[in-house]
Amino acid sequence: MKPIALITGATSGIGEATARILAKKYRLIITGRRAERLDQLESELKTEVQKLVFDVRDREAVNNSIEGLPSDWKAIDVLINNAGNAHGLAPIQEGNVDDWDAMIDINIKGLLYVSKAIIPGMVDRQKGHIINIGSVAGIEAYPNGNVYNASKYGVNGLTQGMRMDLISHNIKVSEIKPGLVQTEFSEVRFKGDQEKAEKVYQGYDPLQAQDIAETIEFILSRPAHVNIADMLVLAGSQASATMVNKKS
Ligand code: NDP
Ligand code: 8X3
């Protein structure tokens, strides 16, 4: 029987690409709010799949969904805490408080709610691997990034703490900090403004979701005596959160 991986935010970008790669070796629990996308993805995956539709901000929905999994799907081996987004890009004095709430509630509290529903089972089984998707934005602030930066700094701190608390239970905790990845991320950040979103990825070759999915696959495929704690993965032309060598 294949081991089980649960991926949050599997309806697009990094999460979706990760589902496609991990389907080779894992049974998958794919999650997100857009049910129709999960249906489509399930139809394309060549592995057994469970779909859970919930908003990671809704603690009750997270708990009910995970508790409601069939008994032979409860022993989750791998958790990919990927769901998240930036909402807005504005100086702190002009920030939209609803955007701030969304980023803190999704990127930090949502990650915690999902983790809280899954970690006790991993502790009982003395087995598991959690990969949190942080960001270069979680080790370097940039102008107008403020609350998104704070949310990813939060993921960075949480990952370190989780690793310490869970090490004695044989649970590995890793973090990947991607740089610029061409996904729906900027469409969400700029609230559907395609022109602004496309500009983020012009003049250089950005990372693709597949690159991060392959990094996840690599981390999970290391032998038991190797724990990849942290990986910063930038685009080829990127030196830092703010420095990209653009052609034009
Ligand atoms: P996408 O916008 O393509 O994907 C985001 C995913 O998160 C979607 O599947 C979305 O599903 C899910 N999601 C968002 N909000 C919620 C919510 N409230 N409840 C449940 N699921 C939610 O972006 P990426 O693939 O790029 O982003 C994935 C992760 O990677 C995020 O944590 C992001 O911060 C991080 N990251 C991205 C980078 C980039 O440049 N793209 C760089 C560094 C880190 P749905 O809308 O269906 O709920
Ligand atoms: C996404 C990468 O640099 O746009 O976390 O914040 S960045």
Give me the amino acid identity at 140. Answer: E
CA distance 190 to 194: 8
CB distance 3 to 25 below 8 Å: yes
* CB-neighbour burial class of residue 142 (10 A; exposed 0-12, middle 13-18, buried 19+): middle
Q: With a 6 A CB cut-off, is 182 part of the ligand 1 pocket?
A: no
Q: Which residues contact 51 (CB under 8 A, 6 or more apart)?
A: 29, 30, 31, 35, 38, 39, 42
pLDDT tens profile 77-114: 999 999 999 999 999 999 999 999 999 999 999 999 99
SS3 167: helix
Ligand 2 pocket residues where CB is under 6 Å = 135-137, 180, 241
Length of the chain: 248
Q: With a 6 A CB cut-off, is 81 part of the ligand 1 pocket?
A: no
CA distance 88 to 172: 33
Q: Which residues contact 72 (CB under 8 A, 6 or more apart)?
A: none
Q: How far is the CA of 240 from the centre of ligand 2 (A)?
A: 10
Average pLDDT over residues 60-88: 98
SS3 57: coil
CA distance 5 to 206: 27
**Kind and range of the H or E element at 160?**
helix 146-166
* Pocket mutation for ligand 1, best pick of 7, 8, 12, 28 (most atoms within 8 Å of C-beta): 12
Q: With a 6 A CB cut-off, is 25 part of the ligand 1 pocket?
A: no
Average pLDDT over residues 224-229: 98
Q: Is the pLDDT of residue 248 over 90?
A: no
pLDDT for position 161 = 98
CB atoms within 10 A of CB 20: 18
* Pocket mutation for ligand 1, best pick of 33, 39, 232 (most atoms within 8 Å of C-beta): 33
CB distance 185 to 140 below 8 Å: no
pLDDT for position 214 = 99
DSSP-derived letter for residue 70 is -
CA distance 4 to 97: 37
Q: Which residues contact 13 (CB under 8 A, 6 or more apart)?
A: 181, 183, 184, 185, 209
- Nearest residue by C-alpha to atom 9 in ligand 1: 9
Instruction: Please list the active-site residues.
Output: 148
pTM, to two decimals: 0.99
Q: How far is the CA of 168 from the centre of ligand 1 (A)?
A: 30
State the pLDDT confidence band at 127, using cuts at 50, 70 and 90: very high
pLDDT tens profile 4-46: 999 999 999 999 999 999 999 999 999 999 999 999 999 999 9
**Kind and range of the H or E element at 81?**
strand 78-81
Q: Which two tokens stand for residue 55?
A: 């908003």
CA proximity to 206, closest of 185, 188, 240, 179:
179
- Nearest residue by C-alpha to atom 5 in ligand 2: 135
